[in-house]
Structure 1
Amino acid sequence: MYFRKTLLLLIITSFIKVSAQSLIYLRPDRVFDGEKVFEKYGVIIKANKIEIVDSQVNIEKNLPKDIKIVDLKNCTLLPGLIEGHTHLFLHPYNEVPWDDQVLKEPRSYRTVRAVIHAEKTLKAGFTTARDLGTEGAEFDDVGLKKAIDDGVILGPRLLIATKALIATGSYAPRTFSADIKVPQGAEEADGVDDLIKKTRNQIGKGADLIKIYADYRWGLRGEASPTFSLEEIKLIVATAQSAGRPTVAHASTVEGMRRAVLGGVETIEHGDNGTLEIWKLMAEKNVYLCATLAAGDAISQYRGWKKGLDDEPERIKKKRVSFKQALEAGVKICFGGDVGVFAHGDNARELEMMVDYGMQPTEALKSATSVNADAFHVNNEVGRIKSGLMADIVVVEGNPTKQISDIRKVKVVMKDGKLISLQ
């Protein structure tokens, strides 16, 4: 433990001393470039960009005299990780139930928490994050994103969905008298004019993408059922596309997923009850699945399941089967845990579960880097260790391409060429 802390301190000190230098040479044991693993490779950073990625032998043939060399023994260098499904304005439901967060916590209080959550996310190695709704905190993610971009606070570069869209009556909180109208966790919208107006309004306020709830727990007996019609989803998607924004969908029922896929959404969030037919349709339409395995796992534990001691609940068993079917059908898998249901900074929990549920470590790491970059249309900026891309880098001790839990052993985080202090 002492050695690890000393190594980290030396690395940070080295970076601080060369903060004014234009060239830094990172020399780890291996580089995972977002797609493949390369042993004894190195990376040269110039200002805020990746300049060179090559074998250490080739790099060291013509090293500039003024370059700063940082040795990273027994370490793996990766692209900055990309969190695909987070809610920075939420915190774990076993601390405060979702309803109480939405109805009882002031937005100012929730924003303060979101600032802390953003910093924890970045320090865990996640330099980009897709926040899929403020859950009742209005457009406060717009200000959070600006504060990060302006360097006022620490956090990942954000792709934000602002309020998200729901069909009237379908979402929550709603365990109140019908005489009382309470704030909702997303924005209600129905019909042609209303859907167009509210989609455009969210874009105008700063949304990078539009999120819809294609189904939710509003069935006759409280079961999940579809919300928006196929025509409504197509309208939302077309309206968003006209402004260059993608649409993504919360969906867990077969019919909700089918409508969302046929309606043109780009990612399905959760997908708990997907069938082989649905997975084939998603693969055919090039729609990604963000399975959020860790969220269901966390909620089951909050409800009393003692993981590792008790048998797995039926919900977890079904999720294992559906996730395996999606993999076998060739569905592209996004990385995203629905963080906020569980603690921010513990984002790696989803990676570990993806491997436990059947993915190889390198495939899970691809999901959290290059696959997410492609899915979220940021592949010209981040997601790979590649010349010309942003110097978003995480260095971990060990080899997460063999032992996925090593992704937690974060030693260095760089965002846009700047070292992030982990203290």
Structure 2
Amino acid sequence: MNKFCFLLVFLPFSLFAQTIVVLKPDRVFDGETMHEGWVVRIKGDKIDAVGPANSFPANGANSSDASVMELPGTTLMPGLIEGHSHLLLHPYNETPWDEQVLKEARSLRVARATVHAEKTLLAGFTTIRDLGTEGADYDDVGLKQAINEGIIPGPRMIVVTRALIATGSYAPKGFSPDIDVPQGAEEADGHDALIKAVRRQIGKGADAIKIYADYRWGLMAEARPTYTLDEIKLIVEVAKSSGRPVIAHASTAEGMRRAILGGCETLEHGDAGTPEIFALMKKQGTALCPTLAAGDAVSQYRGWKKGQEPEPERIKQKRATFRQALDAGVTICAGGDVGVFSHGDNARELIMMVDYGMKPLDVLRSATSVNADVFHLADRGRIKPGLLADLILVDGDPLKAIASLKQIRVVMKGGIFYRK
């Protein structure tokens, strides 16, 4: 949708924010269960009433008090929650990560990110965890503020600002050791420096702290752990004293083990997890955000012709480890590492979760109530009276065809229609 059309649509529909709206789809997914024939009433920016059409007066007063929307053939759901996004990145087949960090002006990246934010919202994702600015300092804090103030359209944001890395582990590669190049995150090591870095990011506006528990800095450029277990425990202790969780990029078994025992609440990727590691995650209550779509996209960028050629070993391994996580009963968050692939195509991850063996109902829960619970968002993720009126409407029934999540008819955030 171009900007001119967006203004025509957004401004009139925002007038509904202080009125009563009654939505009458074929079915309602409330974040946990699918219900046929339910009706949802919105008052202002909150959900006012939910239930069978014959269980309460649909408008709560006189018929003139409500705007009633008959929505046959559709499913109403909570707004989807994206667990792993990078609004300040764009697909690597357009521009490699190194070049985005080194060659793109931050003003350019922020301008592009405003478009990414709008595309994400219109795709039905009303909340995102944005897990690192990737060399753009604290610009995610400004994006969040611009959205909250209504300057630009976009999802509600949980931000981590720069993220934390061990010195030497995460930066554009291939330069002379005499040259200091811009980093993809903030380097910090050891007791005093880590405490100061965590507190600095909190002071700049971080809602959570993200660390890289491992990265591709091994002797043969393979992924290896970065932070020690004691360093991770220290980061978690400092972050939790301010009420903030710690999120860990962790793809190796040892990096995952340290992040779990160190107290990180979610692990991102988990590519080389083992049954023993996933059992430990289950025991400790650590959630996994598997980012299936990112690995799939990168494999295609490297030449894999999906659907025409056999799956690469990397994809086969990911299928196996995801299955192991499911079998272990690990809490699965929905998050695709969007930015590696196109913003607005976020539902790609949810479709792949089903393809990789997860039940459609569990996928819907992951993208709504599970993500809300894991991310400490008690005011959204379900359709219940008193919660935020963050809702989407999709064609058909996503329990029968998960690809319905790409057929977005309506997007409402805080009682305001952004797509209708």
Same fold (TM over 0.5): yes
Q: Deviations over 1:156-203 (max 9, x none)?
A: 000000000000001121211111110010000001000000000000
Which residue matches 1:124?
Answer: 123
d(CA) in 1 for partners of 2:14, 2:346: 31
d(CA) in 2 for partners of 1:63, 1:296: 49
Which residue matches 2:48?
Answer: 51
d(CA) in 1 for partners of 2:13, 2:259: 48
Structure 1 residue runs of 4 or more that deviate by more than 6 Å after TM superposition:
none
Count of residues in Structure 1 that have an aligned counterpart in Structure 2: 410
- Specify whether residues 145 and 297 from structure 1 end up closer, same or farther in structure 2 by C-alpha distance, changes over 3 A only: same
Which residue matches 2:412?
Answer: 414
Which residue matches 2:4?
Answer: none
- SS across alignment from 2:27: strand
d(CA) in 1 for partners of 2:405, 2:108: 31
Give the superposition deviation at 1:62.
7.3
d(CA) in 2 for partners of 1:180, 1:22: 59
Residue 415 of structure 2 corresponds to residue 386 of structure 1: no
> Residue 397 of structure 1 aligns to which amino acid in structure 2?
D
Give the superposition deviation at 1:58.
1.1
> Residue 418 of structure 1 aligns to which amino acid in structure 2?
I
TM-score w.r.t. the length of structure 2 is 0.96
Residue 349 of structure 2 corresponds to residue 350 of structure 1: yes
Which residue matches 1:35?
Answer: 32
d(CA) in 2 for partners of 1:21, 1:130: 28
Q: Deviations over 1:77-102 (max 9, x none)?
A: 00000000000000000000000000
Which residue matches 2:231?
Answer: 232
d(CA) in 2 for partners of 1:277, 1:19: 52
d(CA) in 1 for partners of 2:223, 2:73: 48
In the alignment, structure 1 segments of 5+ residues that lack a partner are 1-11
In the alignment, structure 2 segments of 5+ residues that lack a partner are 1-8
Which residue matches 1:3?
Answer: none
Q: Deviations over 1:325-347 (max 9, x none)?
A: 10000000000000000000000
Give the superposition deviation at 1:401.
1.7
Instruction: Report if aligned partners of 1:269, 1:290 keep a CA contact under 8 Å in 2.
Output: yes
> Residue 392 of structure 2 aligns to which amino acid in structure 1?
V
- For residue 13 of structure 2, the aligned residue among 3, 16, 23 is 16
Pairwise CA RMSD: 1.5
- SS across alignment from 1:368: helix
Which residue matches 1:6?
Answer: none
Residue 96 of structure 2 corresponds to residue 110 of structure 1: no
Q: Deviations over 1:331-371 (max 9, x none)?
A: 00000000000000000000000000001111101000000
d(CA) in 1 for partners of 2:399, 2:20: 28
- SS across alignment from 2:16: coil
d(CA) in 2 for partners of 1:241, 1:36: 33
- SS across alignment from 2:419: coil
Residue 163 of structure 2 corresponds to residue 164 of structure 1: yes
- Specify whether residues 17 and 305 from structure 1 end up closer, same or farther in structure 2 by C-alpha distance, changes over 3 A only: closer
Give the superposition deviation at 1:21.
5.4
Give the superposition deviation at 1:61.
7.1
Spell out the pairing of 1:24-423 with structure 2 (5 A cutoff): 24-60=21-57, 63-65=60-62, 66-378=65-377, 380-421=378-419
d(CA) in 2 for partners of 1:61, 1:130: 35
